[in-house]
Structure 1
Amino acid sequence: MWFFYAISLPLTLIGVVYTLLYMPSRGTGWLVKVNVGSAWICALATLILVPSDVYHAMQGQHLELLRQWWRISYWYGFIAQFTILPLHQEYVDSGAFTVCGRLGSALRNNLIFYAILTAVGAFGLVLLLITGELAPANVLGFCVAASNAVGLIAGIFLMGYGLVAVPRQLWRTANIQGAQNALCHKAGLQAEKALAARKELEKAAALVQKVSATFGRRDSLRPYMDRIEAMISESGEASVFGAGDVEDGADLDYFDLEDLARLRRHVRRAIEDIQREREVYHDIVLQYLEVSDVLSNRLKRGQPFVSSTRQHQLPTMLGHIEWWWRCILRGWVYRLLALVTAGLSIAIVLAEATISPYVPNLSVFSRALHETAGNELATELLTFVSLAYPCLCAYWAIFKLGRFSFYLLVPRHTSAYSLLANAMLMSRFAPPLAFNFMAGIALPPSKSYSPGRDVTDTVFYQEFGVLMMHQPLIGWDFTTYLPVALMPYMLLLVFNVFNRVASIFTRGRSIEFDDDFETRSGAAAKGLRLLQMELDNYSAGRPLGLTITTAGRDEGRHGFAAALRSESRHWWFWKSKPQSSLLADEHSLGSSASVNRGVTQPMRVSDQRVEQTRLANGPPSSETQSAGLDSIFERLSSDKDTGIAKPGPMNVEPDQRHNDNLGGSARRWQWPRK
C-alpha cells in the first residue's frame, strides 16, 4: 500500500502542479489555481484510492485511514462542483469593476443552475414521501444517487465514444499520410474558428470606439471606459482597431456601470477566444511541418534526420536514431498501442454488459485481479491501469467535442473560466466512473467464483454506495442496467451510424467531434490549401498564422500589411530571418528568394540593389513599410472578397528547393509565376 502511494501520490501532485504552471493564461489569479488544483487532486485521487480499496476488499480488510481519505476526496469534490467552482467560475467571468459587483453577478448567473438543483431536490423529496422512505439519511442518499446518475449517464456516453475513438486514432496516427489528412481537416476547422474569433474581436473593438466617443473627458464613467480600451492594447491585439465595423442595429446604449461591465466582459471573451484559437492553429501548423519532415526524410534512408523546425540539428548518431524512430519505429509502436487499446476496449465492453449478478461474468479484469490477489503491488498496479484507461477515454472524448471549446486546455492560453469548468467536469465524472469500475469491472457483485468478495466489501460502497443503492429509480437497478447500453452504442459508433442518419435529415450535425475528418464538409480541402500556404510562408522565413490573419479581412490589402507588421514582432520571426534580408523579402514575397533556418538564399540583382539602398538610407519609416506591404498584397492577392492570396494550380513538377529545405511533398501549391 505505502509503496504504491509513494509512487502514485508524488506523480499526481507533480502532474497537477505542472499543469497549473503550463496551462493558465497570463494574469490568472492564484486563487483560481488553488481551487482548480484542489479539485483536480480530489478527482485524480480516485486513481490512487480505488486500487488500494479493491485490494483490501479482496483481503477482507477495512483501513480507517482509507475511509478518511475517501471522505475528504468525495465530499470536497461533491461540495465544490455545486458551490465553490460554479460561483468562482462566474465570478472570474464577470466584467464588473468591483468585488461586490462580481459576487452579485456570480449569484445572478447561477440562479438557473440552483433552481434546477432545487427542482430535482423537491422531486426527490416527493418520491421519498410516496415510497414511505423519507428520512434524513435517505435524503442525503438521494442527493448522492442523483449526482451519480447524472455523472454515469454522461460518463457512459463519453467513455463509449473514447473506447472506439482512441484505438482508431492511434491506428490512424501510425499512418503518416493519414495523420496528414487529419491535420488538414483540423486546420480547416480551426481556421474557421480563428477567423470567426478575429471578426468578433474586430466588431468588439469597433463597438468600444463607438461607445468611447460618447463619453466626455469629465464623465464619471470615463476611467472605466479607458480601462476597457486598455484591455485591447495591453493584450497585443491593437491592430483590430479600425479593422471592423459595428453591426447594423447594434445596441450603443451604455449609460451606467452595469452596461460597461457587460461590454468589458464581451471584450475580454473576444480577446481570450482569438488568442486561444490562434494558438491551436499554430500548433496544427507545427505538427504539419513535422509530418512533412517525416515524409521527406523517409526518402533519405541512411542519412540523419533533418528537421525544419529546429535551428540546430542533432549530432550524426542521434540524427540516425531519430530517423529510425520517427520514420520506421514510431508507426509500429502506434499500431501496437492501437491493438492493445482495442483489446482493452473489448474487455471493458464485455465486463459492462455482464455487470448484472444474474448473468455469467465476463470481466477479464476481475479474473486477473483474483489471480493476483496475494500480491498487493501487482493487484494495485493492475487496478490502476484498468481504471486509468476508461477514465482517459471519457476525458479524451470531452476535449474532442467540436462544438464546445470553453473548457479546452491550451498551453499558456487557458482562461480562468476554462480552468474552473475543467475542474468542475473532472469532479463530476470521477466518482461515478470509479464506482462503475468497481461494480462492473473489478469486483462485480455476487459472482459464483468470488463468493462474499464483491463491490459491497469496498470502503467506497460502505461510505457512499449504501446511501444511494436503495434509492427508487436511480438506485442499484439503474447502476446495474445502464452500462448494458454501452455495447449497442459502441457498435453504432463503429459503423458510423449516427453520422449517416444525421446526414439524411440535415446538412450539419448537432454533435460532432474534431477527429471526424472523413466527412465531406470541405474542411480537409480548405485545410490543405491553408497548410500549403503556411509551408510556403515558413520556407520564405515569414511567421506562421498569416493565412488566418488575412483571410478574414473585408479589405485584404490593409489586413495583410497589418498582419505582417503585427506578426513580425514575435521572437521566432526575427530569430528565423536575418535583419539584413527583411526588407528585401518584403518587396519580393512571391519571388524565389527565401530564408530557411537562418541561412539567406542568394538574392537577385534587384534585391541586392534594394538592400544597398536600405543600408544607405537607414531604416524606412512606418508609412513607407505600410505602403510597401500594401503594394505587395495588391500584387499577390487574387481574391479581393476574402483577402486570401490564392496559390496557383497544382504543379506536378517536383520543387527541388522545397524538398531539400523543408522536406515537403513533391506536389505542392505554387505561387503564380509571371
Structure 2
Amino acid sequence: MATSGSAVGSEVFWALALLLLSILVLLILRFYLPLRTTPAFVLVTVFFALWLPAGIVLLVPIDLASSAQTDDEATRGIWLPQRVVHTCWRIAYWLIFVLTWFTLPILAEYSDAGYREPKDKLIYSLRSNAQYHAMVFGFGILAFIYALISYGVHVDSLKSPVMALAYCWGLVLAIYLMGHGLVSIPRSLIRNASISGRLRRIQQHAPRLHEQMEEAETNLEELEYQVAELSRRKTGTAMDYQDWIEELLDLTNLPEAQPRPQAAIGVAAARRVPTVITEKYMAELTRALNRARHARSRYVNEWNRLLRSAAEAQAILDCGPSKKLEFGRPSPRASWPERLNILTPYTRYLLHFHIMPTTRLAFGGLLALASICIIWSEIIKAGPAALASLSIIRLTVMHDWVDGKGQVGFGGQLIAALWISYMCAAALISITEVKVWRGRALVWRNTAHESAFWYASYVARLSVPLAYNFITFLSRDVYEKTTFYDFLGRLIDLTSLGSWFNKLFPLFILLPISATMFGLYGKVKRTIGLADIIDEDEENELGSYGSGSWREGRDLIDRELNGTSIPRSVGSLAVPGDSFAPIRSIPSSPNRIGNPATPLGTSPTAGTIASSSDPLASSRRLGTGGAGGQRQQHRGLDSEEEDDDDNFFTSLGHRIKNTVDTIDTPKWLQEITKKPKWMDDDGSDLDRGQGNGSNHNGGGSAADFDIRRFFGGSSGGSGGGSGGIRL
C-alpha cells in the first residue's frame, strides 16, 4: 500500500463533507419536525441517528481508497491514515450501537408514555423495553456460549457475539427491505412516466385514504367526547386529576363557551369513563388522544397532498391541446423551488408534458439496471471465485489492477458512494411503504416524537449491515485489508456459523423481490379475505380487482376540488406542553390550482364546520360522503328500533335477508365465475320481452332470493303472498 503524499487535502474534504451532511440532516429535521418547539433530547438523538449513517456512506469509500491506494497520485482518491479511519469506525459503530439498542427505543417509549411526570415516563419506558432487552440478552448469552466453545476464551470471543448478533439482525431487515425497494423504486418511476396512469392510480388510492381519514376523525372525536365527559365530573377520584383533565381538555377542539349536554357527549363515550379514575387510566387516555391527533394530522396531510397531485396531473393532461400550462399561485406550503415562476406557460408545458415523463422513464430504466446489478452481485457472491469476479459492482469500483491486485481510485470512490446510497435508499424507502404498528408515519412539520425515534432507529440499524454487505461484493484481497473488515468483518467470520450466514443469507433477497414484482402480497391478502387493505402497488398488479374504485376516487377528488363536498374542519390544534408536541396545526391547501384562497375540502363559502349543540352530528355528516359514509349509515341501522307490529318470525326473516343481501362475494370467486366478454348478451331482455319478469340470466339470482318465504313472509315479487305466517 502506498503511503507517500500528504493527507491534508483529504482531511479538509472529509471535514467539509461532514459539515455538508450536518446541514442536510438539519434540513431534513426541519422538514418533519418544528425545530423551535421540539425538545432538545429529540433533536439531538435523531440528528445523530441520521448523521452517523450518512457519514458511513462516505467513510466506506475512504476506507477502500486508504487500504487499496493507487500508485499514481493523480488518480488517488480521498484517503486518510489508518489510525484516523480506525478511530472514525469505532466512534460511528459504537454510537450507532448504543442509539439503536438502548437510547432510541427508551426515548421512543418515553415520548409515547401518557404520564405527566418524567419519572413516571421513564419507569413506563424501561418497563416496556424490559421484555425486548431480556430477549436480546438471552440470545447474546447463547451466542457467547457458542463463541467460547468454537474459539475459546479470548477478547474477541467477548465482542464477537454482540457485534455478530447485531449485524445478523440488521442484515435480515436490510435484505428484506432492500429487496422490496430495488423493485418498487424503478417501477414507480416508470409508471409515473405516464401522466394518465399516474392520475388513475391517484384516483384508485383516494377512496381508501378518504375512509382512513374519516375513521381517524371519528376516533379523535370519540376520545374528545370522553375527555369532555371526564371534565364534567366534579366529585370523587376525578378531582385528584383535575389539572391533568384540564390539560387534556386543552388538547381537544371542543368549544368551551357552549355547554356540553349528555346527549352531545354520547352514551358510548360516557360508558367508557370508569367510575374510579386512576393514574393508569389517565395515562392511557392521554396516550390514545395523542396518537389519535397525530393520526388525524397524518391522513389530512396525505389527503391534501393527494388532491394537489391529482389537480396537477389533471392540469398537465388538459394542457395538451393548448400547449400552455398554468398552475396558478403556489400554496403557502410550497417549497422555494416551487415558488419560482421563471418559466412561461409554453416552457412549463414542455417541461411537465414531455421532458419530465421522458426523464422519469430514463431514470427508472437506469435504476432498474442498477437493481439487476445488485441482485446479480448478491447471487454470485457466495459462488466460486471465477464466478464472483463477474460482479458488476466489483468491476465498476475496482478500476486499476496492478500485478493482479485491484486498486480503488477517486472514480471508484464516487461509484462506490453511489452504489451504497442506492442500496440504503431502497431499504429506507421500503420502511415508509411497509405497514407498521401504531400507524407510524412521517408528516410534514407534524411528525410524532415516537415516530421520529422509530424511523431514526431503523436508519441507524440498517446502515452498518448494508455497508459491510457492499464491501463483500469486492475482491476478498481488497476488502480484507480495510479497517472496516478488521473492526467488524473479522468478528463476523470468527465462527463458521457467522461466515456461512454472511455468505448465504443475502440469497434470500430473491423472496422479497419476487413477492413485490409479481404481487404476491396482494394475492395472499386476497386469498385470506384482506383485499380491502391491498397497497397501491399491489392493487396495480391485480388489474381488474381495483378497476371499479378509480371512479369513486375521481368523484371524491372532483367534489373536493370543486368545493361541493362536506366541509371538514382542519383548523389549528391546541399547543400543549412539550410532551404533546409537535402537533401545531394542520395547514390548509389550495382549493384548486390557481385559486389558493379556499382550503382543500371546503366550499368557497363554507369555511370550517361550526359547532352545534350536538357534536355527534358533525361526525355523522363527515361519514356521509365516500366509502366511510356507508359504514356510518350501517351503524345507524343497528340502533334503529324494531317495529312493534312485526312478529318474531317476520323480523327474523328481515334480518336474515338483510344479512344475506349485504354479503359481498369474494373478489377471487367473482374472477373465477365471471363470464367471458364474448358470452355477454346485452340485448337479451329486449328480445325476450319485458313482461315476463325474469332477470338477465333467465333465472333467479342472488338478489331475487328472499329468505323470508321460508318463514311465510312475502318475497316482494309478483307471486303474491300477504306477508302473514303460515302455521
TM-score (norm: length of structure 1) = 0.75
Matched AA of 2:346: H
Q: Which residue of structure 2 aligns with residue 23 of structure 1?
A: 32
For 1:137 and 1:151, the matched residues in 2 are separated by 20
Question: Among 38, 47, 65, which residue is 2:57 paired with?
Answer: 47
For 1:72 and 1:4, the matched residues in 2 are separated by 19
Q: Which residue of structure 2 aligns with residue 227 of structure 1?
A: 247
Q: Structure 1 residues 179-188 or 401-410, which shifts more? A: 401-410
Q: CA deviation at 1:67?
A: 1.3
CA contact (8 A) 1:278 1:545 kept: no
Q: Which residue of structure 2 aligns with residue 172 of structure 1?
A: 191
Q: Structure 1 residues 65-74 or 404-413, which shifts more? A: 404-413
Matched AA of 1:535: D
Listed as ranges, the matches of 1:67-78 within 5 Å are 67-78=86-97
Question: Among 250, 257, 262, which residue is 2:279 paired with?
Answer: 257
Q: Which residue of structure 1 aligns with residue 422 of structure 2?
A: 389
Q: Which residue of structure 2 aligns with residue 660 of structure 1?
A: none
Q: Structure 1 residues 94-103 or 252-261, which shifts more? A: 252-261
Q: CA deviation at 1:495?
A: 2.9
For 1:151 and 1:235, the matched residues in 2 are separated by 48
- Tell me the secondary structure at the aligned position of residue 398 of structure 2: helix
Q: Which residue of structure 2 aligns with residue 5 of structure 1?
A: 14
CA contact (8 A) 1:186 1:524 kept: no
Superimposed CA distance per residue, residues 246-297 of structure 1 (whole angstroms, 9 cap, x where no aligned partner): 3697462452323212211111111111111111111111111111111111
Superimposed CA distance per residue, residues 545-596 of structure 1 (whole angstroms, 9 cap, x where no aligned partner): 68x99xxxxxxxxxxxxxxxxx9995857984599xx999559xxxxxxxxx
Matched, 1:350 2:367: no
Note closer, same or farther for the CA distance 1:569–1:216 as it changes in structure 2 (3 Å cut): farther
CA contact (8 A) 1:160 1:394 kept: yes
For 2:568 and 2:414, the matched residues in 1 are separated by 44
Matched AA of 1:171: I
Note closer, same or farther for the CA distance 1:378–1:235 as it changes in structure 2 (3 Å cut): farther
Question: Among 450, 455, 466, which residue is 2:490 paired with?
Answer: 466
Q: CA deviation at 1:538?
A: 2.6
Give the length in aligned residue pairs.
574
Q: CA deviation at 1:408?
A: 2.4
For 2:155 and 2:308, the matched residues in 1 are separated by 57
Note closer, same or farther for the CA distance 1:147–1:640 as it changes in structure 2 (3 Å cut): closer
Listed as ranges, the matches of 1:115-154 within 5 Å are 115-131=134-150, 133-154=152-173
Matched AA of 2:399: E
CA contact (8 A) 2:190 2:361 kept: yes
Note closer, same or farther for the CA distance 1:457–1:637 as it changes in structure 2 (3 Å cut): closer
Superimposed CA distance per residue, residues 526-561 of structure 1 (whole angstroms, 9 cap, x where no aligned partner): 465245333344334989868x99xxxxxxxxxxxx
Note closer, same or farther for the CA distance 1:539–1:496 as it changes in structure 2 (3 Å cut): closer
Note closer, same or farther for the CA distance 1:189–1:258 as it changes in structure 2 (3 Å cut): same
CA contact (8 A) 2:109 2:128 kept: yes
Matched, 1:380 2:402: no
- Tell me the secondary structure at the aligned position of residue 325 of structure 2: coil
For 2:624 and 2:514, the matched residues in 1 are separated by 54
CA contact (8 A) 1:543 1:573 kept: no
Q: CA deviation at 1:477?
A: 1.1
Q: CA deviation at 1:368?
A: 1.9
Listed as ranges, the matches of 1:210-609 within 5 Å are 210-216=229-235, 219-233=239-253, 242=264, 246=268, 250=272, 252-301=274-323, 304-307=324-327, 310=330, 318-356=344-382, 358-359=384-385, 360-361=387-388, 362-371=390-399, 376-404=409-437, 406-440=439-473, 443-445=474-476, 452=477, 454-473=478-497, 475-487=498-510, 489-501=512-524, 503-504=526-527, 506-508=528-530, 513-518=535-540, 519=542, 525-526=548-549, 528-540=551-563, 576-577=596-597, 585=605
Q: CA deviation at 1:6?
A: 5.7
- Tell me the secondary structure at the aligned position of residue 268 of structure 2: coil
Q: CA deviation at 1:337?
A: 0.6
For 2:624 and 2:452, the matched residues in 1 are separated by 45
CA contact (8 A) 1:205 1:240 kept: no
Q: CA RMSD in A?
A: 4.1
Matched AA of 2:469: N
CA contact (8 A) 2:229 2:265 kept: no
CA contact (8 A) 2:179 2:427 kept: yes
Where in structure 1 are there 5+ consecutive unaligned residues? Answer: 446-451, 550-566, 588-620, 645-674
For 2:624 and 2:209, the matched residues in 1 are separated by 28
TM-score (norm: length of structure 2) = 0.70
For 1:430 and 1:461, the matched residues in 2 are separated by 15
| Rg larger for | 2
Q: Structure 1 residues 211-220 or 414-423, which shifts more? A: 211-220
